[in-house]
Amino acid sequence: MTYMKEDIRSGGEFGFISEIRKMFPEKTSIKGIGDDCAILPQRSGLSTLMSTDMLVEDIHFILSKTDPFRLGWKSLAVNLSDMAAMGGKPVASLLSLALPSNLPAGWLERFMEGYRDISARYDTVLAGGDTSSSKDRLFISVAVVGECPEGGALTRAGARPGDLVCVTGILGESAAGLDIILGGGARNEEDLRLVRRHFMPEPRVREGQLLASVPGVHSMMDLSDGVASDIRRIMEESSVGAEMDSRNPAYFGEHALDGGEDYELLFTVDPSAQKSLPVEHFVIGKITDSGRLVWRDSDRDFCGFRHF
Ligand code: ADP
Ligand code: MG
């Protein structure tokens, strides 16, 4: 770590890390913060899953408009969603921060409280990380480690023609929440619910593991860029086509198809297994052998969110 600024809330880099250690005391057999590496016990018959995701100031969030607690929550949430997408059980995370000197007093504490809140909610240990200073922007990088039964991870590659395309929740609420924030803020309970969907998404961790245990579920991913572009990932990886609803009870608002950051799971399932799925879901399309993407009842070509 190379955090040079005085007082990461008094005490320099070691002060900050010892604060984090106090906030995240070891409660499991994982040896976490304080040494050169974290140590995770291994069990046979399981595979290890790893993933990482970065949040960059002014690309993924505007610092002055973002509540630190919610940002801490979301930093881990988006990583847990990747874990959920494979049917993995998250075990531990690593948190790397590049901190600008202009963070308001109390900001880091609130950020770490949000991170702790979601860590506890999803039973995940903060096992280490890195801390650096940054010239002007805040960078947050989280890595997550998880596990699943050997051979039990659900990839994007298994979709078969005839499969139904499903999602675990309503799409477009996060985008609607963002519109409310940009439009001046929440005016009622419903607005607040949508704003929360944007800032504090609930990764579908339990749902992902349940779905991965159903033999008829053939492929899965999490929705971060909007279903209109994410369905193409499954099509490409599985070499199939898809016929998708352009209108469906699962779609909310203007950006149901092309809005980002839903963090619901998109999966395909054999029709014979769909009725008895152990998870709430909506059917929004069907896998075909055409190799093409068709939107039913529409001549529009929907495009998902683009980062670049
Ligand atoms: P090293 O010099 O070996 O990289 P550091 O001084 O960077 O060690 O970190 C000391 C300990 O604190 C390590 O166990 C590391 O994982 C942990 N750590 C550093 N920064 C963070 C952070 N932002 N969140 C959690 N743990 C951290
Ligand atoms: Mg380090």
User: Tokens at residue 136, please?
Assistant: 């002007």
Whether 2 has a pLDDT exceeding 50, the answer reads no
**CA separation for the pair 266, 250 (Å, rounded):** 12
- For the chain, the distance separating the N- and C-terminal CA atoms, rounded to the nearest angstrom, is 30
> In a mutational test of the pocket of ligand 1, which residue from 9, 24, 131, 132 has the highest number of ligand atoms less than 8 Å from its CB?
131
**pLDDT tens-place string over residues 211-254:** 999 999 999 999 999 999 999 999 999 999 999 999 999 999 99
Whether 171 has a pLDDT exceeding 50, the answer reads yes
Across the range 182-189, mean pLDDT stands at 92
Centroid of ligand 1 to alpha carbon of 85 (angstroms): 28
Centroid of ligand 2 to alpha carbon of 95 (angstroms): 11
DSSP 163: P
Whether 4 has a pLDDT exceeding 60, the answer reads no
Q: Please answer whether residues 159 and 234 qualify as being in contact, where contact means their C-beta atoms are separated by less than 8 angstroms.
A: yes
Centroid of ligand 2 to alpha carbon of 130 (angstroms): 4
**pLDDT tens-place string over residues 24-79:** 999 999 999 999 999 999 999 999 999 999 999 999 999 998 999 999 999 999 99
Ligand 1 atom closest to the Cα of residue 17 is 12
Residue located nearest, by CA, to atom 2 of ligand 1: 1
Quickly state the pLDDT bin for 298 (edges 50, 70, 90). Answer: confident
Centroid of ligand 1 to alpha carbon of 185 (angstroms): 37
**CA separation for the pair 189, 174 (Å, rounded):** 15
Whether 305 has a pLDDT exceeding 70, the answer reads no
pLDDT of res. 77: 97
pLDDT of res. 84: 98
- Short-list 125, 167, 142, CA closest to 41: 125
**CA separation for the pair 119, 140 (Å, rounded):** 16
**Which numbered ligand comes closest to the C-alpha of 37?**
1
Quickly state the pLDDT bin for 6 (edges 50, 70, 90). Answer: very low
- In our burial notation (b when 16+ CB lie closer than 10 A, e otherwise), range 112-126 reads bebbbbbbeebebbb
Percent of the chain beyond pLDDT 70? 93
Centroid of ligand 1 to alpha carbon of 12 (angstroms): 13
Across the range 87-101, mean pLDDT stands at 97
pLDDT of res. 111: 98
**CA separation for the pair 59, 53 (Å, rounded):** 13
Which residues have any ligand 1 atom within 6 Å of their CB? 1, 17, 20, 33-36, 95, 97, 126, 128-131
* Model-wide pTM > 0.85: yes
Whether 182 has a pLDDT exceeding 70, the answer reads yes
Quickly state the pLDDT bin for 1 (edges 50, 70, 90). Answer: very low
**CA separation for the pair 284, 281 (Å, rounded):** 9
* Residue that has been written with the tokens 């529409």 in this structure: 298
pLDDT of res. 65: 86
Mean pLDDT, rounded, of the chain = 92
